[in-house]
Structure 1
Amino acid sequence: MNLIEPHRFTPFEAGATASVTLPGLHRSNRVDVLRIAPGLVLAHSHFSAAIRHDDDIRRPDDQVILAFNLSGRMLLIDHNGSSHKISDGQVWIIRSDGRRLQRIVEKGDGCSNLVVALTMSRLDPALAALLEQTLPDPVPLRRLRLPVPGRAELDALLDGRSDAAALLRKEGLCLALVGHAFEELATHPMSGVSADDRSLLVARITALLSERLSDTITMAELERVAAMSHVTLNLIFRAETGMTVFERLRMLRLEAAERMIRHTNRSFTEIAAKCGFSDASHLSNAFRKRFGVTASEWRRREG
């Protein structure tokens, strides 16, 4: 298995090109690379169907990659061991984070891809934050709904020209593709997380909240546990439960307090402390908002 680091054979100067043959393979297996501008690279890869390709790919940790499948198919295996099949004209966005991806192209399949690699520093901070929210660490790859560029667009990108005017034109085309990708991320922030994964995540976070009703829990802690931003976590929670994480926590605390009020003779001060309320008054006010009566009235009514 070869370790391939694309940045090592990417030309440094804008307008410079390179045609890189993969180690030990015929020239029909190659990557054609064009440095369009600082922080923006276009690559066209060709993998023959005559043999099986199995390589490790490692990119710099400050890149976001758009991969457009033009023909054939390949398998990418991320650092978590999850497999992602790229085929049938699909479009994928990838956060490199400096980690290895295993790329497999089976014999008989072959594969051709168009890749746009953009340095994160070129992104507006809001777009960088969106990328972190929608491609959290456990899920560094995500399939997009975008179409592969049309024939005319591909011809314009792959026409072999590298003069200043052509580079400006190609930069605009590539940035338009990147812009469409980010618009999709903003419109569909959760589509990269499956329904099963969402349900498991909500169950795991809910169990943690239930075990620590009396503790002070911060969103920063929950972000670390869930390995995603609070924005994405709240979007998932709202979709699954109809409430945010902390709305769910308040509900769990009230449910626990209601059970203790109904089934025990503990004081309201003790119940408040056990269930995460600052004092008995806080508990009573929360009870009134939720049930329409104070905690004392609820105990008398249920008793």
Structure 2
Amino acid sequence: MILLKQGTHQYGTKLIAAGTSWIYAHFYIGKIVKSEVLDFPLDSSSITLPKMVRNLLQTDFSQRLKQVIRLSESNKTLCKNRVSSAFQSILLDLYEHGKPALQKDLSDQILDYLQCRVSDTLSGREIEQDFHLTYQYLTRTFSEKNGMGILQFHARLKMQAAARELRSSNKSISSIATEFGFSDALYFSKCFRKQFGISPSEYRKNQIFDAFFC
């Protein structure tokens, strides 16, 4: 498992961004004494960690990893065992944190993915790479439950989110178009009209009218 700090760009070359740090966790097979941190002995049982764990910003995993690093730099008695125990505790909690996503079916995982990336411009190729499955299989599975293909559904989510911005903000139509991945405000208006039957400016005007007179 690779733990990457959100917002920090990682490059696969020697040109590493300033402030990036690498933490290597080395595993070995051997006898480990009873944990000083956990309340049960460490044994040979194993679990399979999820491939990706999301929504960690509101957790304490970052602080706990820093604590493990501080422990690893100490020469105090039993520190190595404390490091092993603390790190295993983090991995077990990551497993628990990731379980709800594992229990969701593929269609629900795709839906979560689309909602998280509603402002992005997606392609079938990119979705294939993120899910490690063919786009044809993914969109067929998704459409069986949702009645439309992935990119079509994503376009609908994008327009719905843009409509919320038109209702709740004073942003210009061109800035909203840019926010949702449209380089051309005219094309954005065309897509919006296709979804709602009216232009973004007409939609906003109707919302203001309804707020004052309905």
- Smaller-chain TM-score bracket: 0.3 to 0.5
Larger radius of gyration: 1
| TM-score, length-scaled by structure 1 | 0.33
Higher fraction of helix? 2
